[in-house]
Amino acid sequence: MRRNPDIALAQKLLGGWTPQVPLERGLEATIAYFRGLNGSRLTK
């Protein structure tokens, strides 16, 4: 099942904003970022 979020509110509040990064690439970058954090930064 794939989510299909409604971004209408973000577009309204941010003046026509649209996502620029494909979902898979964004998830990969997010996961890599959190894997790179050390444990002390996650608990603060």
pLDDT in tens, 18-42: 989 998 999 999 999 999 987 655 5
Q: Is residue 10 part of a domain?
A: no
Two tokens, residue 27: 């998830």
pTM of the model: 0.52
Per-residue pLDDT, 1: 72
Per-residue pLDDT, 4: 80
Structural domains of the chain, count = 1
Q: Is residue 1 part of a domain?
A: no
Place of tokens 């003046």: 15
34: containing domain? 20-44
Q: Is residue 44 part of a domain?
A: yes
Q: Is residue 4 part of a domain?
A: no
The phi and psi torsions of 21 (rounded to 5 degrees) equal -110, 130
Q: Is residue 24 part of a domain?
A: yes
Q: Is residue 43 part of a domain?
A: yes
Q: Is residue 42 part of a domain?
A: yes
